[in-house]
Each structure stands twice: as C-alpha cells, then as structure tokens.
Amino acid sequence: MAVRRDPLDELVVPDGTQAKEVALETGGDVLVGARSTVEFGVRGRNVLAGENVDFGGEIEADGDCRLDMWCDVAANVLVGQDAYIGERVHIGGELRVAGDLDIGDDVDIEEGFEANGWIVIRNPMPTIVFLFVYLKHLLLLGEEDTAQRLIDELVDDDGEPDAEPLVIPRNATVGDDAWRVSTPATIGSDCRLHGNVRAETIEVDTDCDIFGSLRARGEVTVGEGTRIHGDLTTRDGNVLIEADARVLGDVSCTDLELRPGAEVDGTIRADGEITMGTSERDLE
C-alpha cells in the first residue's frame, strides 16, 4: 500500500471485492475512516476503523481488528488474532477473539465476549488515530520510506504477499443503495458491487459488474469488459469507455471516447467531442 499521501483520501476497492447480500468481502485489509457508515458487514484480513464508524452487519477479521471509540457494530465481531476495542464502542452481538483483547471503558457488548489470550482494560490513544497522525507527520517531513515501512508492518506482518486494502474514506456512506464519497474512487478488476457510486472522479478496472449508476464531478474511466448497469454522468469531466465495456444506460459528459467494441445502450449527451479510439492491443 503506497502512502505518498493520506491513505484515507480515496475510496479504493481492490481486485476481486464482492458486495454480497450481507457483507463486503475482500482478500486484504479493510481501513475505514472516521464518521463513516458501512451498511454491510465486512470480511477481510485485518479490519481497522476510525472513531464513530457504524457497521450494519458482522465483522470477520482473519487477523487483527481495531475499532476506535464510539464505533457501532450491529452484529458479531469475530477476530482471528488480537483485538483493540475503544471506549464507548457498541457491539450488537458477541465478541470472539482468538488472541489478546485490549478494551476501553464503557464498551457495550450485548451477547458477551470471549478471548483466548490476555484481556487488558485501558484507554490509550486509539490505534488508528495514532497511526494516521504519525503517518501525516512522516509525510510532512518527507520521510516517505519510513512511512511505507510503517504501513507495511501494519498490514503485512503475517508474511503473506501484499494485497491492496479496501479503503473507505472519512465521512463516507457505503451501502446497497449507494457508495457516496467526496474523494476520488478507484475500483479494481473482477469486482461485483451493488449501489450507485458517487465520487470526485471514478476509475473502474477490467471485468467488473457495477449494479448501479456512476456519477462524478471529474473524469470517469470504465475498463475493458466491465458492465455498468445504470447511467454514467460527469459534471465537468471526460469519459473513457475501454474496449468491450458496456454501459446499460445513458452517458452524459464533456468529451467521450469509445474504444473498439465499447457500447452505450442509452442516450449519449456530450458537450464536446465523441471519438472512436484505438486500443493499445490494436496498435501492436
């Protein structure tokens, strides 16, 4: 995971992420910025959430789970290694931790908890707050290599190959109806998501299925073989639809470029130019 800027300045959906009926599933870590709402449960390797994050379902973390103060989880929290639970967190089900549990004051766990390791009750500086404060200072000082080592140790300390984390920025809303962020959004390949995506800019990689519309202020790119089951609208930007991609709705933009095999099933409204481009594959 690169840290040349604030890690929570972009919605990042890694390759292979699936939005299933009750949970977001990804093979890597899950990072959620403060004051966000995730209407699903989440399943990943390590799960880290800033303060005042609401989860609408169960959290399953194969590794560690860190929930800062005032988080609310509607169902169970199941942790394969260690857990940090900040003060005034509410868990609507049970908390099960295979390793150590570090827990703050006034935590409400409706169905009780179980930890196989040490249990420590204290109120240190929330881990995710410390992490991002420290990272910002390192980046301001130009210590990018040190910052990179810090995040690598956090998310890759089990020796597994690097996997890009699922990153939900601050003040975001993610649900079956819509994914709303005020930052850029990058969606990896082979993803299957439900909900309308609202972001500053949007980039969707190859072979995805997005069951909803895309709306951005700036540029929008739709990768090869991807299907957008809805309209595509940008206020001020251009749209690139790569080869064999398909938009099953209307497209509204400034300039539109359609690569070979790209399709738009609805009405095209372009204030600028509409061009039929050539893919890199055709130039070889």
Side chain identity at 10, as an amino acid letter? E
Overall average pLDDT of the 163-192 stretch: 93
Paired sense of beta strands 256-258 and 239-241, if any: parallel
pLDDT value of position 137: 57
Of 32, 2, 50, 6, the residue nearest 139 (C-alpha) = 6
User: What CA–CA distance (Å, rounded) separates 222 from 30?
Assistant: 24
Is a pLDDT exceeding 90 seen at residue 163? no
The pLDDT, as a whole number, for residue 20 is: 80
Q: Residue 278 has what pLDDT?
A: 59
Q: Which of 214, 213, 216 is nearest to 237 (CA)?
A: 216
Q: Is the pLDDT of residue 284 over 60?
A: no
User: Which residues neighbour 10 within 8 Å (Cβ) at sequence distance 6 or greater?
Assistant: 167, 169, 183, 184, 185, 186
Q: What is the mean pLDDT of the chain?
A: 86
Is pLDDT of 280 > 90? no
Question: What is the distance in angstroms between the CA of the first residue and the CA of the last residue of the chain?
Answer: 32
Question: Backbone phi, then psi, for 114, in 5-degree steps?
Answer: -145, 130
What is the side-by-side order of every strand in the sheet holding 227-228? 113-115, 95-97, 77-79, 59-61, 41-44, 23-25, 18-19, 192-194, 209-211, 227-228, 246-247, 263-264
Task: With a cut of 90, say whether residue 101 has pLDDT above it.
Answer: yes
Largest CA distance in the chain: 64
Percent of the chain's residues with pLDDT above 90: 70
Least confident of 6-20, 72-86, 210-224: 6-20
Best CA proximity match to 38, nearest among 62, 26, 22: 22
pLDDT for residue 2 is more than 50 = no
Spell out the alpha helix ranges (H) of 123-251. 127-140, 144-155
Mean pLDDT of the region 149-171? 68
Q: What is the mean pLDDT of residues 28-42?
A: 93
**What mean pLDDT is predicted for residues 35-63?**
94
SS3 of residue 283 by DSSP: helix
Pairing of strands 209-211, 95-97: unpaired
Query: Model confidence over 114-132: pLDDT tens digits?
Result: 999 888 876 544 455 556 5
The two three-digit tokens of residue 158, written as one number? 């089990």
Q: How confident is the model at residue 1 (pLDDT cuts 50, 70, 90)?
A: very low
| 168 pLDDT above the threshold of 80 | yes
| For residues 57-66, average pLDDT | 95
3 vs 84, which has greater pLDDT? 84
At residue 192 the predicted structure's pLDDT band, cuts being 50, 70 and 90, is very high
Q: What pLDDT, on a 0 to 100 scale, did the predictor assign at position 283? A: 44
Q: What percent of the chain has pLDDT over 70?
A: 80
pLDDT recorded at residue 254? 96
pLDDT higher than 90, residue 96: yes
The predicted model gives 220-233 an average pLDDT of 98
